[in-house]
Amino acid sequence: MKLFVTGGAGYIGGVVVHQLLAAGHNVTVLDDLSTGHADTVPAGVQLIEASVHDIAEHLPHDTDGVLHFAAKIAAGESVVSPELYWQTNVQGSLALLEAVRNADVPRLVFSSTAAVYGNTDEPMTELSATNPSNPYGASKLAIDMMITGEARAHGLGAVSLRYFNAAGASGPLGERHDPETHLIPIALQAAAGDREKLQLYGDDYDTPDGSCIRDYIHVEDLATAHVLALTATVPGAHKIYNLGTGTGYSNKQVVDVVRTVTGKPLPVEIGPRRDGDAVIVVAAADKAKAELGWRPVKASLEDIISDAWAFYRSFYGA
């Protein structure tokens, strides 16, 4: 297929681009490089440095599918500056949907999130109640609803993949956010001595050890799901799939595994709770397994953190 990838110079988008090429697809990347990195894009792949708001100027009419990653993704930032998430995520996606319609692109795969769901002690299915605890999740839910409308009204075939916590690395491709906001790479920074300490936000939650619980999914497994989703689209339908392992790990368990994998002390400070943080977020991904034939291969937290640590040592010289 001839594919167009927004945000393809980012962490997840970059790994997906590599897997798309390995599957034999022709790929073009659009990324404004505000958080992405040009060196993530493989040699020979066209990189258009532009905003998703301007996608109409760049999307070819013979495109077979669009994969949409371009977005702001920091839940904490979204609580402080929600307008950035309406402008970038919602308005940018509206521009994308209009461009997709005008270019007669038949399929769309969207990078959604588990942050659209509310708090629950049970693994979340695609039918779980949507009640985002922060504007980031709300922006992604709004886009999911926009896609549903576009599919019904104009015949678009679409898939939304609701990730749980993406982590790990794929060889030379890993997390390089600046500033970093994700727990595992921040913990690795602290273990490597590149950060004074790791701050955990709260240890008084109603969980076994008092810290928040998350379902971590390896970035390579996420990428595989995108390749599979391209062939699962149906004209006029919007399918939604959760992507996670079904196993939750607390923040304190992550700290323990980082210490084990790195063999280094990891100084930790317990801070106050952070606005917008859900307590427990764990996936039920049975639908993706049944309909996409998808399975997480690197499902253990040890595998995920080991790959992230290998990338960190290689890239930063730790």
Tell me if residue 136 is catalytic. yes
Q: At what angle do helices 135-154 and 92-102 cross, to 10 degrees?
A: 20
Instruction: Say if CB 225 and CB 294 are below 8 A apart.
Output: yes
Those residues with Cβ within 8 angstroms of residue 167's Cβ, 6 or more apart along the chain or in another chain = 175, 182, 184, 216, 217, 218, 219, 304, 305, 308
* Beta strands per DSSP E along the chain: 2-6, 26-30, 46-48, 65-68, 107-113, 157-163, 165-167, 198-201, 213-214, 216-218, 238-243, 249-250, 268-271, 280-281
Which residue in 11, 136, 249, 312 is the catalytic one?
Answer: 136
Instruction: Say if CB 169 and CB 10 are below 8 A apart.
Output: no
Token digits of residue 136: 């980031």
Which residue from 208, 211, 214 is spatially nearest to 282, judged by alpha carbons?
214
Q: What angle do CA 289, 290, 293 make, to 5 degrees?
A: 60
CA distances from 300 to 48, 168, 209, 217, 246 (A): 36, 11, 20, 9, 11
Q: What angle do CA 93, 214, 241 make, to 5 degrees?
A: 45
Q: What is the DSSP letter of 71?
A: S
Instruction: Say if CB 241 and CB 160 are below 8 A apart.
Output: yes
Active site residues: 136
